[in-house]
Copies of this chain bind each other. A is one copy, B any other.
Amino acid sequence: MSSLIRDWAASTPEMLAAFGDEALIAAALAFEMALARALAAEGLIPQAAAEAIADACASPPAEAATLAREAAHAGTFAIPLVRRIRARVAQSHPEFADAVHWGATSQDVADTTLMVMSREAGELVDAGLRRLGRALADLTHRHVATPMLGRTLLQGAMPITFGLKTAGWMLGVEEARARFARERDDALQLQLGGAAGTMAGLAGRGTAIAKRMAATLGLAPAITPWHSRRDGVAGLGCALALVTCAVAKIARDVSLLSQGEVGEAREPRVEGRGGSSAMPHKHNPTGCQVALSAAIRAPGLAGTLLVALPQEHERGLGGWQAEGPVIAELFELAHGAIAAMAAVIEGLEVFEAAMMRNLAAAQVGSDTGESEALARRALAAIAAAEPA
């Protein structure tokens, strides 16, 4: 589908690259190269075969569009990719052609490729969340004692401080970050099982080969192949949706505070963004829009990964094939939301006078209770959780 409909408005250039054609083909080639070298190291193929395969994997074997068409026909991109690598090897070293992809199945490449891309993508998400967390901590420090009207059920309720509100945003983001980190650590595993997940054809060296490959590719080795045990993938997806929605909570509040009649905060004006051709006076909360839109889309995608879970037998029909685009989209939406709101929070305009005015108008007194102490405790908890 046109990038004008999707990617660009919802994600970031870095994240789009992390799941782009180049990254995918590179990851798949890295898999085949790592497999060949591990096979050689364990004595299953000659060292020269590994080198011949590595040479054949040094550059993409075809244009992405060509591979995509072939993949559509074959039902998986692994088949045309492997065939083309094998053809390259056969040209120079016909005796090593059979060593390409030895012991592996298409899903081994597909799953590992997805995990390698997810590792890169995960670092972007983590860095983005840390950036957003820092901006939220700064904002909380600045406004730890700024009084404003607390609102419940969309009605004015009792006084709070703005710092207590932002501390809640901050804790929500931090909790989502911690969960994502855990799920990512669990999910990022190498896949190597062969046709039915038994590591057949690897002369009993399957585990050793997998260990070598995992080290090379920066993934954890799996206890057993996880071809049809997909809770790691689904857990990762749920964590990404949670990240997105925790970030959107901030966008919900900022957009409500930015309403003309409230006027307590406003996302920073960015030249050429959030304007309206028809209404030059407008200053739309475009950053919030990106995050809220992502939060509308993420839950259904996380649910999809759960739906896909009960996959048939050793490798299922339709389930794991549904996961790749969904995981990629969840990463894209999460990072788009994070990046948009990090910019919003870093440059947020806060109108304390409006806060005072609205608070006074609500006639609910001025007792902010333990707001300040609670916000400080949140800051301390976050600081304590930070690595030295």
Contacts and interface: CB of A to CB of B under 8 A. Distances in A.
Given A4-B67, A206-B369, A369-B202, A195 B276 contact: yes
Given A10-B325, A20-B1, A106-B277, A224 B318 contact: no
Nearest to A301: B300
A105 interface: yes
A322 B293 contact: yes
Given A284-B153, A314-B151, A293 B321 contact: yes
A364 B64 CA distance: 35
B223 A234 contact: no
A346 B258 CA distance: 31
B1 A7 contact: yes
Contact of A314 (B157, B198, B292): B157
A199 interface: yes
A279 B195 contact: yes
Interface in A290-312: 290-304, 306-312
A370 B314 CA distance: 14
B258 A261 contact: no
A231 B175 CA distance: 7
Given A1-B325, A296-B319, A310-B248, A231 B242 contact: yes
Contacts of A308: 296
A317 B223 contact: no
B175 A186 contact: yes
A387 interface: no
A278 interface: yes
A324 interface: yes
B202 A370 contact: yes
Given A105-B276, A168-B224, A171-B224, A370 B151 contact: no
A128 interface: no
A381 to B, nearest CB: 5
A285 interface: yes
Interface string A252-274: 11011011111000000010111
A180 to B, nearest CB: 11
A270 B231 CA distance: 31
A299 to B, nearest CB: 4
A151 B318 contact: no
Contacts of A285: 153-155, 317
A195 B308 CA distance: 30
Nearest to A178: B186
Contact of A198 (B20, B228, B368): B368
Interface string A221-251: 0011111110110110010011001101101
Interface in A124-145: none
A222 B195 CA distance: 45
Given A10-B325, A260-B362, A312-B253, A317 B303 contact: no
A1 B16 contact: yes
A89 to B, nearest CB: 14
A219 to B, nearest CB: 16
A171 B226 CA distance: 9
A143 to B, nearest CB: 14
B311 A300 contact: no
